[in-house]
Structure 1
Amino acid sequence: MIRNIVRLGVVLGFGAGSALGVATVAGADPGGAPGSFQVSAVCDNGATYQLILNGNGAFSVGHDSASNSNIIPTALGPFHGVVTDAAGNVVEEFTDPAIAKGNSTKDRGTSTDCTVTLDDTFTDPDLGVLHFHGDGSATVFVTPAN
């Protein structure tokens, strides 16, 4: 059960395709559509993006809150997540395998690799206060191309 709850933000558009639209993990709405959430992505192109994600699928497009850029994932590396309770006990741990979006992994002028790390605290009605930590990677391209 907790694994399904965690999967919302865990995928962050940069995780597995089993995300649910459960806003409890995502934290506060960063000003996007209802149910949207924000995450940072540090990329090999030297940029750090503050992404607003509105979808709940593995390949949701991220909208950079500091510009008009969109970050579009084409391949997702392994994603590892751990949920702990208030005492630090592991409640759930998982690793999602790497996946690619069809044949969309061709190189583009704005392709880059990114690392995503998520730390969030949320309350589960049955388990109380929980902490989630997840790490993953993604190959993305950035629009508009300059």
Structure 2
Amino acid sequence: MSHNDDDSSDLGPAGPSKLESFLFSCELSSKVPFYTFQGDEEEDLEHFLELRTVCLGQGAKVESNVVEVTAMNHQGKTISVPIANLHLSCLPMVSLGDFELKAPLTIRLKAGTGPVTISGLHLIASQDEESDLSDEDDEDDDEEEISPIKPAKKKQKQ
């Protein structure tokens, strides 16, 4: 699943940006207790993970399943935060809304055996400076070359 947004009103330091989103899902269990989200290493792309839901899967035991995320804070320091404490009998699913984090990050099953499914969107932001700016330059050049039509002056009789 892919969704493209062209947001030319979002002018960053390098110009307009383009945002693509893809469906994301991973399953954590005692066999696979963590998932690391990296993104591509391309310079002009930024990768984000927008977490939406965390839910217990089929075969989950009656126990607490704690899911935590480890990512960088605004100061560039690594921080771990629990985002869900699921229990089959009272809270099998949590909706996180639009919980958006920048790559890289790790999602870990801190307690319990799962399975726990985490779903959301993988967002990729890129700068569209070359194509958009060249189009704008062409339009400006066209406008400069066309001179306005002036009305003809009437000759006065002597």
- Higher RCO (C-alpha under 8 Å, 6+ residues apart): 2
TM-score, structure 1 as length reference: 0.29
Q: Larger C-alpha radius of gyration, 1 or 2?
A: 2
Higher strand share goes to which structure?
2
TM-score, length of structure 2 as denominator length: 0.27
